Amino acid sequence: MDQLLAALDGAWRVLLAGLLLGAGLPAMFAFGVRALAWGTGGDAEIHADGVLPKAHLGGRIVAYTMFSLVVLAVLIGVGYITAHGLGYSITFNGIIPVITAKH
């Protein structure tokens, strides 16, 4: 029974990581594109002929925040892969990742 619970625990973690990284990052990027379209106004929105909607600062802020989070996640992933390839490990003691040599 313990082996079954350990397997289910591992499967749950893989499923969660797949949802966050496999579907979550592209969804955040798509949301950022949509927010950028709303933030810049213009032909990206549906509007009456001859009437251009005004730009929204909030849309741009949300868009750039989403893009920054996606880029940050990609950089952390590349750093993780590179560190392990060179014989280092990454620990998260708080918010900032710390690269340390493996013992």
pLDDT of residue 96: 82
Q: Report the run of H or E that residue 91 belongs to, with start and end.
A: strand 88-92
Residue 41 CB contacts under 8 Å (≥ 6 apart), including other chains: 52, 53, 54, 55, 56
The pTM of this model reads 0.73
| Beta strand 88-92 pairing with 97-101 | antiparallel
User: Does 39 score more than 70 pLDDT?
Assistant: yes
Dump pLDDT digits (tens) for 13-26. Answer: 889 888 888 899 99
Cα–Cα distance, 56 to 45 (Å, whole number) = 12
Cα–Cα distance, 24 to 50 (Å, whole number) = 37
Report helix, strand or coil for 50: coil
User: Does 43 score more than 70 pLDDT?
Assistant: no
Q: Binning pLDDT at 50, 70 and 90, where does residue 37 land?
A: confident
CB 30 within 8 A of CB 6: no
